[in-house]
């Protein structure tokens, strides 16, 4: 007798991985200008010269990392046929949450020869890590490109970006050259750097704009042709994904996620093609999933206050003042077996935070001398989403 998965078959996906975040396309679409700027910035490497430092700026999902990987793979191939070029070594690291020491240590460990012990996490300082990094680079020789993704999240970025670009000029490297490629979602990152770092970097900046709907349709059509079976989608579905993503974030990642979600809905429904309707259903499902995650990230009492407003919304008693929320919150807390907060100010603080996060809409009311000024609140999402999350706690 077959198990619960015995009858599961793919009907619409030809290669679902093509729609995943990890997929690296063979050809980069709608980024010709950025590729040309990148090509010019990296060309010195082909002639054995010191590499330029390159910084890429743009929102998440606009192709910075994909273009970087594409260009570096092409550069590694080209270097093989260029007699003037030194051997090229690429070291990539995501800096999210790292200290300068942790980032340099990670680079050192990438360069250590097979069988060598990793650089220790404790007992040595940043200067020791840099000394070991330079020793390993010189041992290896050639040109080293250090790719630091999410560099705006690196603590003490000044220390890394002052040291690396000047390593050869300061005599730390004799047999190797080094360049930095920084990738950042924060356009203001450079302004946070010290004056001496800005002077030493002398970097080439490449700005990645958000995609418009036409560009997103081109990207989606290319991926859909590979990811889905022949005649497995309507052009309207592609247009719907592109329009939503262009209006929201301008992110190719979001557009591809919408297409994948729509195709999953269509497959679950036993449909032969992905339609606009499936995309809308997939979008609603994804939005609910994101909301669930955001709700679960709140503190216990933040969730209880949100649940109280959801009950008031469900009973058609909103907009509502904070003192009414407090009485409902106390009932909710009692039902959940939790000790409630006892001051109106604490409830108002939670209501303010929930409003800033987009869970609630807050409107100021002013009744003049008769009642003064105060705020009213109402839920800015489906209360069933809140109830479902809270029922699982």
Question: Which amino acids are annotated as binding site for ATP, given as ranges?
Answer: 62-66, 211, 223
- In DSSP terms, 56 is beta-bridged to 183, 206
- CA 223, CA 3: separation in Å to the nearest integer? 33
Are 65 and 252 a contacting pair, CB within 8 Å? no
What are the backbone dihedrals phi and psi of residue 272, each rounded to the nearest 5 degrees, phi first? Answer: -90, -15
Please enumerate in sequence order all residues whose Cβ is within 8 A of that of 192, keeping only pairs 6 or more positions apart, or say none.
Answer: 157
The residue behind tokens 């082909």 is 46
- In eight-state DSSP terms, residue 309 is H
- In DSSP terms, 318 is beta-bridged to none
Residues in binding site:
62-66, 211, 223
Closest CA to 25 of 263, 256, 210: 256
Please count the residues of the chain.
Answer: 393
- CA 126, CA 158: separation in Å to the nearest integer? 13
Classify 321 as helix, strand or coil.
strand
Strands of the chain (E only): list them: 54-57, 88-94, 142-149, 176-184, 204-207, 320-321, 360-366, 373-379
């Amino acid at each position: 007798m077959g198990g619960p998965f015995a009858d599961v078959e793919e009907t619409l996906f030809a290669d679902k991985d093509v729609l995943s975040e990890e997929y690296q396309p063979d050809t980069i679409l709608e980024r010709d200008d950025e590729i040309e700027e990148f090509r010019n910035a990296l060309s010195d490497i082909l002639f054995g010269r010191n590499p330029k430092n390159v910084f890429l700026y743009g929102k998440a999902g606009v192709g910075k990392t994909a273009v970087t990987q594409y260009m570096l793979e092409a550069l590694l191939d080209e270097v093989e046929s260029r007699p003037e070029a030194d051997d090229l070594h690429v070291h990539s690291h995501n800096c999210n949450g790292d200290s300068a020491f942790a980032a340099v240590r990670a680079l050192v460990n990438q360069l250590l020869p097979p069988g060598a012990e990793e650089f220790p996490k404790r007992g040595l300082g940043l200067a020791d890590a840099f000394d070991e990094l330079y020793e390993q680079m010189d041992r290896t020789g050639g040109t080293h490109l250090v790719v630091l993704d999410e560099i705006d999240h690196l603590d003490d970025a000044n220390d890394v970006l002052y040291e690396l670009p000047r390593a050869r000029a300061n005599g730390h490297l004799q047999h190797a050259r080094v360049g930095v490629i920084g990738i950042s979602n924060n356009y203001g990152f450079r302004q946070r750097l010290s004056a001496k770092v800005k002077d030493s970097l002398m970097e080439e900046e490449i700005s990645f704009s958000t995609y418009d709907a036409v560009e997103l349709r081109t990207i989606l059509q290319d991926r859909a042709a590979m990811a889905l079976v022949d005649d497995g989608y309507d052009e309207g579905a592609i247009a719907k994904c592109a329009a939503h993503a262009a209006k929201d974030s301008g992110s190719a990642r979001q557009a591809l996620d919408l297409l994948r979600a729509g195709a999953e809905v269509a497959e679950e429904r036993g449909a032969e093609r992905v339609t606009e309707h499936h995309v809308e259903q997939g979008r609603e499902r994804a939005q609910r999933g994101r909301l669930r995650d955001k709700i679960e990230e709140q503190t216990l009492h933040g969730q209880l206050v949100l649940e109280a407003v959801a009950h008031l919304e469900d009973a058609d008693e909103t907009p509502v003042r904070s003192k009414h929320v407090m009485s409902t919150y106390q009932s909710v807390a009692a039902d959940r077996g939790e000790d409630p907060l006892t001051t109106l100010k604490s409830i108002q603080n939670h209501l303010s935070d929930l409003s800033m996060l987009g869970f609630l809409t807050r409107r100021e009311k002013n009744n003049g001398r008769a009642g003064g000024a105060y705020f009213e609140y109402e839920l800015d999402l489906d209360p069933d989403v809140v109830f479902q999350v809270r029922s699982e706690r």
